[in-house]
Chains A and B, each alone.
Chain A
């Protein structure tokens, strides 16, 4: 088992990184994860494992990450502040590191009222925790790792080896604060960033210019978020309902008029990857194909991002 993060090696070697996403099943179903692992193996450097995303109960990100690891895929374990206080979080970080998990993405978490955007019941009556926020979570894991110190001041016997990352919504409101918000996460210890999905590349490029002005692109590896469009309806829904995401009308129209929507979605995705790759300071992509993970290998191939640097070779 590798003792260092493969994602970290790929980034340090200067490769353009590729991460994907694996949503854990809504059941105690290891087989579902193994099936996804078989589809995705070899096409990304690491795979995000969501933590009860949209506030719907799924297999825990720590367990699902361990299953992926056993399948030979490197997980990026997501951890949200909604469900755990600092005691539980630090305990889970130690456990995850002991299991060989080497990447953690620190998030605030979707509010419990979400319930899969109304598609499921969820648990809107749940009590949220928010003992700490995502910026504080970053600093807590950094101090566990670098100082062997818990947040309360006690020491840990073996520090967790963990690459830590954060999310960034570059085009979210209030827009004037977004680069400052990124700077706060970098100051708290973020080593990589995965952005909210980008459809307006030129506006994202403007934000990246501000990022470069602050020199943040040299302190943190920014991976641009790419969502694979499946239909015009999906894009309209995202445009209307997902905070921080605006989809240009031309793109919606293009998907609307496509005779082969799947093919058009793949083309759009590859174009978006090429466009964000050209922006200075973008050091990788985070590709999400929601409920369509099987498309990722083809996308990565068409974007000419294969083969991925083999584990252990990059350094």
Chain B
């Protein structure tokens, strides 16, 4: 039977983990929204949320309804049609989860390449959906630059993402 002290430690651990998970989500949200006073950055902002969804989906299974809700909040915040980011993130999560077993055993370069493909696909789908909704051809170049920037920045974002994952699960080292 668990002593009350053990119960407390476990309780605090759970609270801490939830807190950390929420803090990580808040940080992602901020990265996706805060103006960075860099000329032209707003038009080509990298897909930070996609990086997190991709990486965490390889390490473990992120709950799709949670991913959907997070995407919806991002949509409401950024003035996008509601469902746009939610769709992209849920689709990315489903595709990654399907290839999870393959990706888990691969060297980092392959995981990186996988993300680059996913970022490009996400950009293309976004461009297509926006063009369809606006019934006009949207400029393609900014979204391609955003996808390329996302791919370039992915290795940098992996370090904090891996640290959060390690703290959240008591599992051994991620790949």
Q: Do A and B associate with each other?
A: no
Interface residues of A (CB under 8 A from B): none
